[in-house]
Amino acid sequence: MEWLARLQSIDRRWIYAAIWVACALPFVVNIKLPVYVSPETRRLYEFIEKCPPGKVILVDSAWDAGSQGENWGQVEVVFEHLLRKRIPFIITSVEITPLGPQFADQVIERLVREKFPDRKYGVDWVNLGYTKGSWQAMQQIAKDIRQQYKKDSRGYSLDDAEHLPLMQRVRNIEDIYLIYSVTYSPLEDWIPFIHGVYGTPIAFGCAGIQSTTYYRYLLSGQLVGMLVGVRGAAEYDALLHPNLRDRNSMGTKLIVPQAFGHLVIIVAVILGNIGYFAARRRKG
């Protein structure tokens, strides 16, 4: 019983080492596992599938290095979907981080280089860069996008029809089919100030830790879909590529190591509990 009681005081560094080894294994040995697609992911996919011609999607890509483990995969799969279906989209980063548009550029440029070399900036997508102001910026975008953005992130005027033909048919919220906000913790202000006032559908891509608070918006219909953490990205990739071998997004790459890491944590929790009960029994 003595050694069992010691299980609850394992040096944390051993647990870190075990997680490193378990998570590294699937990277070294190529392991792929099937993915079950949750309803919130499927709803977003199906909603984007139904995008009518002439409409654009606004992607609020407000994430940076701190949350790229989850958010990179979430924008990557949606960008791939939009580029594949040739649904034009506008990227911005509202309020949270000025680095967001730069990270979105990295994701999209890799996609264009590897999979969609015929897609063009200004025609298929536009990056408007960072803007400040939460609900104020949202209301301004809804009423007249040119009041909030004078130029795109490359310095072209929004009225420059030669470089930004896409922006010539985007004036206000009526031209936007969906707002997809991807960040660690998306701004809830999108829901009252855009969905509540104009009825424009909203979807979130968020960190797993934040998702618990957003599920209520899915139930009430205030969100049309949501990608939750790495899981959401891997599920969306599964919808894009039914064949397991075709999947190579960030979400798919990280989902198996994540499963291995979770296994180590579950084992550590069980061992800790065994140690706790053994210690309690020893004390009488």
Partner 1 sequence: MEEIAPWQIWLAAIVTLGIYSYLISDNKLYRLLLNVMIGLGVGYNFIIMWKQVLQPLWWEPMTRGFAAVFNGFAPGSAGALWVLVGLLGTLWYFQFSRKYLWLSRIVIGMTLGAGAGVVFKQQLLMNMPQIADSFRPLIARADGTPLVGGSDAPLSLWMSLNNIIFVGTIVCVMVYFFFSFEHKWAPVRHTARLGRWLLMVSFGAFFGNTVMTRMAVFLERLQFLLMDWLRVG
Residues near partner 1 (CB under 8 A) are 13, 16, 19-20, 23-24, 27-30, 66-70, 72, 98-99, 105-106, 109-110, 113, 129-132, 135, 148-151, 153, 188-189, 191-193, 196-197, 207-212, 216, 219-222, 228-231, 250, 253-254, 257-258, 261-262, 265
Residue whose tokens read 């006032």: 197
Give 178's strand partners.
57
**Closer by beta carbon to partner 1, 51 or else 184:** 184
Q: What is the distance between the alpha carbons of residues 252 and 241, in angstroms, rounded to a whole number?
A: 11
Residue 162 CB, shortest distance to partner 1, in Å, is: 20
Long-range contacts of 141-150 (CB under 8 A, 24+ apart): 141/58, 141/92, 141/172, 141/173, 142/172, 142/173, 142/193, 142/194, 142/197, 142/198, 142/200, 143/172, 143/173, 144/171, 144/172, 145/170, 145/171, 145/172, 146/171, 149/92
Residue 270 CB, shortest distance to partner 1, in Å, is: 14
**Closer by beta carbon to partner 1, 99 or else 240:** 99
**Closer by beta carbon to partner 1, 146 or else 241:** 146
**Closer by beta carbon to partner 1, 27 or else 246:** 27
Residue 196 CB, shortest distance to partner 1, in Å, is: 3
Residue 53 CB, shortest distance to partner 1, in Å, is: 29
Residue 112 CB, shortest distance to partner 1, in Å, is: 9
Residue 231 CB, shortest distance to partner 1, in Å, is: 7
**Closer by beta carbon to partner 1, 55 or else 172:** 172
Q: What is the distance between the alpha carbons of residues 254 and 265, in angstroms, rounded to a whole number?
A: 16
CA 278 to chain centre: 43
**Which residues in 65-84 are b (16+ Cβ under 10 Å) and which e?**
eebbbbbbbbbbbbbbbbbe
**Closer by beta carbon to partner 1, 38 or else 222:** 222
